[in-house]
Amino acid sequence: MQQKTNKENTSVKILTTAFECLSTRGYANVSMRNIADEAGVALSQLAYYYKNKEKLFTEVINMMMDQYLNEIETTLKSTADTKDKLASLVRYFKELIREKPKLLRLFIDFTAQSLWIPSFREQLDSLFNAITEIIESNLSVDTIANKSLMGRSPKCIAKLVFGTLFGTSIQIILSSDRDSAFESLNLAENLLN
């Protein structure tokens, strides 16, 4: 029993260290050796638990996905009114930028990597679809005031909402003038209401 616990602890330690390294330095700047050194384990242990860089990073993506999905669902379920839900979702992205920029950078980095790595693409596509489904299930299309959105499918509107907030968040995190860049998130909220 103790041996199983030690294996689980080592596996979790490696995964947590990989998450931290990737969210701090990015995919292109992190090697398996970096992770092994920072986790205080032998490189062979990384290979034992995760086989290769892609498998380890796939697990990091899974960890990131779980966090995003739980946070977004909790945010949207915190209020009943559609306008309040949209406002709370905008607040979530603002908090993500201000308080969890590493998590957002990791999401952006893996999104970029998914263009080149098929297994990442499948995971990120799954994450985008899951986020869209959460937004869709929490929106009441009938209460959206913007007339140009009337007649559109809830899925289409949910994709627009997520794409707007994610894309705008990327612009903000890259901006040298973050304070004025946050105004675009406020604008997105107003356009969607």
**90 and 62 share one domain:** yes
Domain boundary among 16, 36, 51: 51
**80 and 124 share one domain:** yes
**62 and 119 share one domain:** yes
Query: Quick check: 104 and 173 in contact, CB under 8 A?
Result: yes
Q: What distance, in Å, lies between the first and last C-alpha atoms of the chain?
A: 55
**47 and 103 share one domain:** no
Global pTM?
A: 0.82
**36 and 122 share one domain:** no
**62 and 26 share one domain:** no
Domain residue limits at 29 = 1-51
- Point out the least confidently predicted range of 78-82, 86-90, 98-102: 78-82
Note the pLDDT tens digit of each residue in 22-71. Answer: 999 998 999 999 999 999 999 999 889 998 888 898 898 898 889 889 99
- For residue 16, give the CATH number of its domain: 1.10.10.60
Note the pLDDT tens digit of each residue in 137-148. Answer: 887 655 555 556
- Mean pLDDT, range 100-107, rounded to an integer: 90
**155 and 174 share one domain:** yes
**119 and 42 share one domain:** no
- For residue 101, give the CATH number of its domain: 1.10.357.10
Q: What gap in Å lies between CA 173 and CA 103, rounded to an integer?
A: 12
What is the total count of domains within the chain? 2
**98 and 147 share one domain:** yes
Query: Quick check: 146 and 188 in contact, CB under 8 A?
Result: no
